[in-house]
Amino acid sequence: MSIPTKQPSLSGEIQFFDNYIPVLHEGDYKITVTQKLKGAGGANGFDVDQSFTEKQSFTIAGPRFSLDPVDIHREFPPPGHQGRFETVLPHMTLTKRALPWERNVFSDAAIPWLALLVFSEDEILEPVIGTGVNPGVKPNPTRSSSIRLEQLTNPPTKPSVVYPDVTFDPYEKPATTLCSVIDIAPDTFNKIVPSESELAYLAHGRKVNIEKKSTSVTVGGSGTRVEDATQWFSVIVAGRFPDAPVGARATATKNGVKSTGKNIAHLVSLEGLTKYIPATPGKKATDFPTGTERVRLVSLASWTFTCLPVSGQSFSALMEGLVPDSDGDRDELLLRVPVPTSPAASTLTQTYALDALESGYTARTYATRQGEDTFAWYRGPFVLKLPERFPANRTQYSVSGQAVVYDKDKGLFDLSYASAFEIGRLAAIHSSVLTSNLHSWRSKGRQLLDRLQQRMSSSAIASLFDTASGELEAEAALQHAMLTESFINYLTGKFVSSILPAVQGANASAPAGVGDIRPANQSAANDAQKLASALADPKIASFLQTIDYEELDPILTFLADLYLLHGVPFDYLVPDERMLPAESVRFFYVDRNWLDVLVEGAMSVGLHTGIDVGFQTAMNTVISSGLYELIHAVRDRLLGIKTPSLKDAGDITLGGVLIRSAVVSGWPGIEIDAKDASGNKISLLRMDHVGPEVLLCLFAGVPASISVSEPQEGLHFGVESNDAVYLRHL
């Protein structure tokens, strides 16, 4: 079915659509607006009958001779992979749902302007133009050549080449813009380029649920807004099976030549060549001119893959290879450096080092501030055993040195938490949004405290609260103090009875006539000291926490992303490559103490005075409670869904998994579902590609089982091993 104007909601995991034809195709358009003014002016006026016309030209442009890599979601078979692919039709998934139909090159708008063609190595001719014929330059694996656009329509070759009949737009700059081309024989063109009716079936749209997918390749990869955790894709399918290797099928020879199994796929533009494409299979199209030896095609994307007679890099084979076959101890699935076997007669030093490695620590070179070169222990937030949670009312770190752990018996440092503090601090400094909002928030906090001290310690204003009529005058006086209406209402109510005595007590002066009774070595309390003293009062801290600070929203948003380790260098998450070797999966807990210190480092930026520290300390409860709940909504916000945030006081145990495999790059939209020991679903806090072949998942709980599935948008078409197609009954 075609996509209707009112788009349906997704009732399952995936929906298929015949096409997505845009309202306006690529091209030049003109808007004409006419306004008519007509009316009678009356006895002393003038009749009006005029028309005013304004014209505005505009152009809708899209991909034509090249494709942005962002527009490509995935290719199948995956580029460079080897396996049993000869029974599957290759396809390409695009992030733009209308891309195959944006250009109207056929009479029927439902026919795409793109086609995915699959070649054997000998079906693409050697390049005779562009980079492919430069002396000493070997043609790339897909046998394409890069040329200037002007060479596409006026090639410096023999007239035996048929090239696309296109006209360039002024903005396309044919003298400097490059494109990729391939040359094929006319017979090859007639054999493998689908007819118009076939092309309509070789492109379609898909709407897919992405709740279980990586946000870096869905939301982040497309750059488009997502609603209801669904995303649109367009799919171009090849109309030809790959070339099979020797022994895989009876057709593994071509023209008497044994096949190597290597295949080359090209996504090509059909613009300017449509007259050579028949309307239906078997119908006659325009013949190529006599003497034509080459047909030149514009290639927008290409890749290679190899068919093997045995299973190779298939999804199931790669996934099964992540877990060792042994049924015994699965310690090899823990995130740590491989621990050597303990010697029969271990020394205390050896035992100490082995225990540290088994706990997930690594030894890193460390230069102390005194200039001494030594080593220190380090581990990131991913741990094998959860440490005891920091007390909620502890004094937070203000500098990284306070987070350093020193083992005086061994003379070694543990820099794990100190590193977390510095990472958070550097991340905050790098964010202009956070630093500006922190400055504004603290400035308003100090302004609030200053004015409260000035006004509420005034006996004249305080006395106004004694009568109902005086409250109106008090509100007027406080109105000049930058206070919002809701805050003023609070001050004229609960504040008078519970908070005011504490403020006045903190600023109480000595009785008149007594003189200065402080010891000679004690200085007089200044305003800052008075405010600091007031901030230490629990009632005032509680009062400050009730205020609605608009700056807190962007601050908490930044901290929630940081808490989920967005922007933290991967070397600090996995400090040793041996922890996560190629084709492996590793499980871990998440140390929330490490995350808390990371946030403390970010919040330490711009703390200049004791008042700033006191104000922020008083607000720590608001920050932590808001942060702990917000981390459960970060992913929902990206996916465009609204779900109640999980109540989290910082005591929910977080778990995670890291996968490093070709399955991550070959199947970027893989789906992960986690459940606890009771079979209940565990929500994903984060699922992102943190490297070309590395996938990171963080869970709001500790999974007992994790299932990994092939992507719905990558569902492919093909036949069974006996070349049969079995129908399904829905």
Provide mean pLDDT across the span 472-476.
53
- The pLDDT, as a whole number, for residue 47 is 80
Which of 281, 309, 294, 263 shows the shortest CA–CA distance to 254? 263
| Stronger pLDDT, 221 or 281, i.e. the higher one | 281
Q: Distance (Å, rounded) from C-alpha 548 to C-alpha 65?
A: 53
Chain segment 318-344, per-residue pLDDT in tens:
888 888 776 655 668 899 998 877 777
Does residue 451 register a pLDDT over 60? Answer: yes
d(CA 162, CA 175): 20
The rounded percent of the chain whose pLDDT value lies above 70 is 78
Side-chain-side CA neighbours of 623 within 13 Å: the count stands at 23
- Compute the average pLDDT of residues 145-160: 80
Q: Which amino acid is at 603?
A: M
Residue identified by tokens 């092939």 is 710
> Would you state the pLDDT for residue 25?
80
Percent of the chain residues topping a pLDDT of 90: 41
The neighbouring-strand residues paired with 276 are none
Mean pLDDT confidence for 574-594: 94
Nearest CA to 75 among 659, 691, 718, 665?
A: 665
DSSP three-state, residue 311: coil
Q: What does the pLDDT look like over 540-577, one tens digit per residue?
A: 556 565 666 778 889 999 999 999 999 999 999 999 99
Of residues 729 and 673, which shows the higher confidence score? 673
Q: What is the CA 199 to chain-centroid distance, rounded?
A: 33
CB 726 within 8 A of CB 677: no
**C-alpha dist (Å) from residue 396 to 352, 421, 600, 646, 671:** 30, 11, 7, 25, 39
Residue 68 · residue 98 · CB < 8 Å: no
Segment 341-368 shows an average pLDDT of: 83
Q: What pLDDT is stored for residue 293 in this prediction?
A: 92
Q: Is the pLDDT of residue 686 over 90?
A: yes
Query: Tens of pLDDT along 63-122?
Result: 899 999 989 999 999 999 888 888 899 999 999 999 999 998 999 999 999 999 999 989
In sequence order, the 6+-apart residues with CB closer than 8 A to the CB of 317 are 83, 311
* Residue 698 vs residues 87, 387, 599, 673, 685: alpha-carbon distances, Å: 37, 18, 18, 12, 5
Backbone φ, ψ for residue 265 (5° rounding)? -110, 135
Range in 80-94, 604-618, 624-638, 701-715 with the lowest mean pLDDT: 604-618
- Integer Cα distance of 467 and 477 in angstroms: 15
Higher pLDDT, 107 or 512: 107
Query: Computed from CA positions of residues 238, 239, 240, 241, in that sequence, does the dihedral angle turn out positive or negative?
Result: positive
pLDDT reported for residue 574: 95
In this predicted structure, the answer to whether residue 486 has a pLDDT above a threshold of 60 is: no
Q: pTM of this prediction?
A: 0.78
pLDDT of residue 131: 84
Crossing angle of helices 416-430 and 432-456, rounded to 10°:
90
Q: Would you place residue 56 in the very low, low, confident or very high pLDDT band (cuts 50, 70, 90)? A: very high
Contacts of 93 (CB under 8 A, 6+ apart): 72, 73, 74, 75, 76, 206, 233, 234, 235, 669, 713, 714
Q: H-type helices in 103-212, by residue range? A: 149-153, 186-192, 196-201
Which residue reads 């003298």 in tokens? 175
**Is residue 625 within a helix (H) or strand (E), and if so which, with residue range?**
helix 620-630
The string of DSSP letters for 363-397 reads EEEEE-TTS-EEEEEE--SEESSPPPPPPTTSPPP
pLDDT at 694: 95
